[in-house]
C-alpha cells in the first residue's frame, strides 16, 4: 500500500467563500470514500490492525460531523437561497435538482448508519469485514451526487447568488461549526 492509513488530507476553503468551501468538502468526501474502499481491501489481508482501526475512526469522525454539516449547509442555506433566487426557466430545473439532492442525502445517511455499525467494530479491534456491496453502493452514490452538484448546482449558484446571499450562507456555515471569527 503506497499511502498509509488513514492517508488523506484535503483542500482548504473557508466560510467566507461558501461555494468554494462546499467544493472543497466534496474533495474531502471523495478522499474518505477512497479510504473506505481501501479499508474494504485491507481488512481481509490484515484484519483490524492499528492502521485499520485509525482509518475506521477517521472515517467515522468525518461522516459523523463534517458530512452532516455539509448536508445541512446545502439543505438549510444553499438550496433555500437558490430557490429564492429562481427566475424564468431556472425554477423547474432548480426544484428538481434540489429535491433529488435532498433525496440523495437521505439515502446516503441511511447507508452510512449501516456502514458505521461495522466500522465501530473495526475501530474496536474486532476482526470483521466490510460489506463490499454496501461500500460500493455508498461510494458510488456519493460520487454521482458530488458530480451532479459540481456540474449543475454550484455553477448555477455562482450565477444566481449575489454577495448578500453568499455572505448569509457563510455566516450560517460558521454558526453551524461554532466558528466565531473569519
Domain span including residue 128: 18-177
What does the pLDDT average to over 17-40?
95
In a domain, 7, yes or no: no
What does the pLDDT average to over 52-77?
96
pLDDT greater than 60 at residue 7: no
In a domain, 1, yes or no: no
Higher pLDDT, 176 or 93: 176
Residues 80-123 pLDDT 10s:
999 888 766 667 778 899 999 999 999 999 999 999 999 999 99
What does the pLDDT average to over 4-22?
65
Stated pTM of the model: 0.86
pLDDT greater than 80 at residue 4: no
CATH number (domain holding residue 54): 1.20.120.520
State the burial class of residue 80 (Cβ atoms within 10 Å of its Cβ: 0-12, 13-18, 19+): middle
pLDDT greater than 70 at residue 11: no
In a domain, 83, yes or no: yes
Peptide bond just before 37 cis, omega within 30 deg: no
Structural domain tally of the chain? 1
Amino acid at each position: 500500500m503506497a499511502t498509509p492509513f488513514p492517508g488523506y488530507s484535503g483542500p482548504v476553503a473557508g466560510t467566507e467563500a461558501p461555494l468554494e468551501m462546499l467544493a472543497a468538502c466534496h474533495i474531502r468526501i471523495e478522499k474518505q470514500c477512497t479510504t473506505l474502499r481501501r479499508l474494504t481491501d485491507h481488512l481481509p489481508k490484515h484484519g483490524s490492525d492499528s492502521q485499520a482501526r485509525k482509518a475506521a475512526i477517521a472515517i467515522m469522525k468525518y461522516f459523523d460531523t463534517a458530512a452532516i454539516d455539509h448536508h445541512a449547509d446545502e439543505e438549510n442555506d444553499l438550496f433555500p437561497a437558490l430557490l429564492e433566487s429562481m427566475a424564468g426557466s431556472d425554477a423547474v430545473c432548480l426544484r428538481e435538482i434540489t429535491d433529488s439532492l435532498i433525496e440523495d442525502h437521505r439515502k446516503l445517511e441511511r447507508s452510512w448508519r449501516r456502514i458505521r455499525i461495522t466500522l465501530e467494530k473495526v475501530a474496536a479491534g474486532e476482526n470483521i469485514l466490510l460489506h463490499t456491496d454496501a461500500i460500493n453502493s455508498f461510494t458510488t452514490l456519493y460520487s454521482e451526487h458530488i458530480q451532479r452538484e459540481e456540474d449543475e448546482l454550484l455553477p448555477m449558484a455562482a450565477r444566481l447568488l449575489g454577495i448578500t446571499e453568499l455572505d448569509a450562507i457563510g455566516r450560517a456555515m460558521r454558526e453551524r461549526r461554532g466558528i466565531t471569527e473569519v
